[in-house]
Structure 1
């Protein structure tokens, strides 16, 4: 059949077929013309050119699509092969590089929620803060989810659980609680600013342990060995609870006569009721009356509301007392009495 006669007779229908196959209407005629031109010799020899042109048109329109996945697979195989070759030549990825893709949640005890978000951000960890109404100063970190010590991927978000102002009435010990939290932050992060007397008497495991300079930071020698280091070591311990850190309990009132089986100090020149801070962790086996021994801080204030005595009871402590070169205030009082 003559190609020109076939084009004149079937061109319109072939364009419709091309559109039905998905060719845009404004480009269908060009596709048909190209197919007819490619098949002109077969059209001339065929008794029914549609048997030649229509399959060729389908192949021209759909054939490229059917070959596309094969080409994509071939490209993917090439990429995988290249990556395998690089791995064989360069060796497996460095373990340190793999570990950089995860981060460890740090201990957040003794921090405010703002400080915790900053600390986690410095470790490359995204955060959100979940406020929990509680009768404590707002913004004190209670823990995190996932807890400290856990590893998180870059796409994970750590929820910081922090105190928030409650809608109900709280006991009239707000000042003592604020002072206690500030002292805890003073020891752990250095950000707290509790009211401290110029000279703070220290007791460790029930024994007098010298004094600390209330005008200096907790990292100064007079604070570190006796108070800060034991508290920080206990606070940073892994804890098997949902928060991942010791639970902070604060009470105000007369202390019990003994703490962890040791006599509770009864210092002079202080108000009768100290504020007691207990960091409840895993505990030890040397408790009393079936209670596990926990790290305990008793904060005694003077008449001006400044902390003048700090008593620390450490789980497993042995009453280390002061070093031999330290003269405590009680020792000095005894010397003055002897001189009289």
Structure 2
């Protein structure tokens, strides 16, 4: 296949794939361009270059194992995931007198805004006494979802400090590819975190909580977060949403989770996902929440809907190290 034609056809989807793997939106074009440049000969020889290019992209970001059994090396862009897009394009270097926390953020640090939209993020930060400004940012994310902040998560902040949150403004037709699926995933996450109302549920909702026993919730119960306590589903989503990881001390840099919509057949037989997974209608949305450090098996959720597009079953496959 002609490398130029492949680039034109797949450019935006490759950018999205890089961002899903933890690359900052500003750095994704450079990385994708480098990978395409190195793979030109293989692209020219292949009838379908997509698998090899996507594998090369994954290896460029996560690194390739040095030998069997060794962990992947993380591309520096993973460390940049939580670094804000500052107006001057600069990276903010942070220092703390004490060793920084590794897997949480203290009260004097800028919180992670993963899982927040503009309104919820502003409310959270204003409650902490911060002066909040919102600015739109072109991104293939659900509209108004927070994609970055300045200063970044983990920065030391004091009451009265000015902070900027950047919210997604989809501005490309390629952003529509899985927009509805991402929107549903965020609705469920918002419901779990108390940031939004319940999504539309069917009269009966089957819940499959990992290895636990299946449970059935009627629609009125399903819309009540307390009714989900015995399922562990919403608790797992809340835990995944709050995950942070220190990836660099100088400058102090934290990574946060990432959400990715996947094909329902992806990963079957891996990470405890059965083959086939939960039976249901053909209308299914599967998504994963990648951990902040991008290691282990991510939390996976499958959402099945009825003909009226109401959620009729939810299957949770917990994250594992």
TM range (shorter): 0.5 to 0.7
Separation in 2 of the partners of 1:299 and 1:155? 42
The structural deviation recorded for 1:246 is 0.8
Structure 2 residue runs without a partner (length 5+): 1-106, 248-252
Residues 291-330 of structure 1: matches in 2 within 5 Å? 292-316=296-320
Separation in 1 of the partners of 2:275 and 2:133? 41
Aligned length, in residue pairs:
209
The structural deviation recorded for 1:236 is 1.0
Secondary structure class of the residue paired with 2:175? coil
Separation in 1 of the partners of 2:255 and 2:148? 6
Separation in 1 of the partners of 2:242 and 2:235? 11
1:173 aligns with 2:178: yes
Separation in 1 of the partners of 2:276 and 2:193? 24
- Tell me the alpha carbon deviations over residues 12-59 of structure 1, each in whole angstroms, 9 at most, x when there is no partner: xxxxxxxxxxxxxxxxxxxxxxxxxxxxxxxxxxxxxxxxxxxxxxxx
| Conservation of the 8 A alpha-carbon contact between 1:197 and 1:306 | yes
Match of 1:146 in 2: 151
Specify which structure has the bigger relative contact order, considering alpha-carbon pairs within 8 angstroms and separated by 6 or more residues: 2
| Conservation of the 8 A alpha-carbon contact between 1:142 and 1:162 | yes
Secondary structure class of the residue paired with 2:237? helix
1:222 aligns with 2:233: no
Secondary structure class of the residue paired with 1:305? coil
Match of 1:119 in 2: 124
| Conservation of the 8 A alpha-carbon contact between 1:113 and 1:129 | yes
- Tell me the alpha carbon deviations over residues 308-335 of structure 1, each in whole angstroms, 9 at most, x when there is no partner: 1212122239xxxxxxxxxxxxxxxxxx
1:187 aligns with 2:192: yes
Separation in 1 of the partners of 2:202 and 2:246? 37
Question: Aligned to 1:249, which of 252, 260, 277?
Answer: 260
- Tell me the alpha carbon deviations over residues 89-140 of structure 1, each in whole angstroms, 9 at most, x when there is no partner: xxxxxxxxxxxxx844334332211110111001101222343323332111
| Conservation of the 8 A alpha-carbon contact between 2:115 and 2:190 | yes
Higher helix proportion: 1
Separation in 2 of the partners of 1:195 and 1:267? 20
The structural deviation recorded for 1:177 is 2.1
Separation in 2 of the partners of 1:212 and 1:107? 32
The structural deviation recorded for 1:149 is 4.5
Secondary structure class of the residue paired with 2:172? coil
- The structure number with the bigger radius of gyration is 1
Would the alpha carbon gap of residues 275 and 104 (structure 1) be closer, same or farther in structure 2, given more than 3 Å must change? same
The structural deviation recorded for 1:182 is 1.1
Q: Name the TM-score, length of structure 2 as normaliser.
A: 0.56
| Conservation of the 8 A alpha-carbon contact between 1:278 and 1:295 | yes
Residues 1-340 of structure 1: matches in 2 within 5 Å? 103-205=108-210, 208-216=213-221, 217=223, 219-223=225-229, 225-240=231-246, 244-263=255-274, 266-271=277-282, 273-284=284-295, 292-316=296-320
Would the alpha carbon gap of residues 212 and 244 (structure 1) be closer, same or farther in structure 2, given more than 3 Å must change? farther
Secondary structure class of the residue paired with 1:152? coil
Would the alpha carbon gap of residues 131 and 282 (structure 1) be closer, same or farther in structure 2, given more than 3 Å must change? same
| Conservation of the 8 A alpha-carbon contact between 1:138 and 1:165 | yes
Secondary structure class of the residue paired with 1:153? coil
The structural deviation recorded for 1:244 is 4.5
Would the alpha carbon gap of residues 235 and 189 (structure 1) be closer, same or farther in structure 2, given more than 3 Å must change? same
Structure 1 residue runs without a partner (length 5+): 1-101, 285-291, 318-340
Separation in 1 of the partners of 2:153 and 2:224? 23
Secondary structure class of the residue paired with 1:293? coil
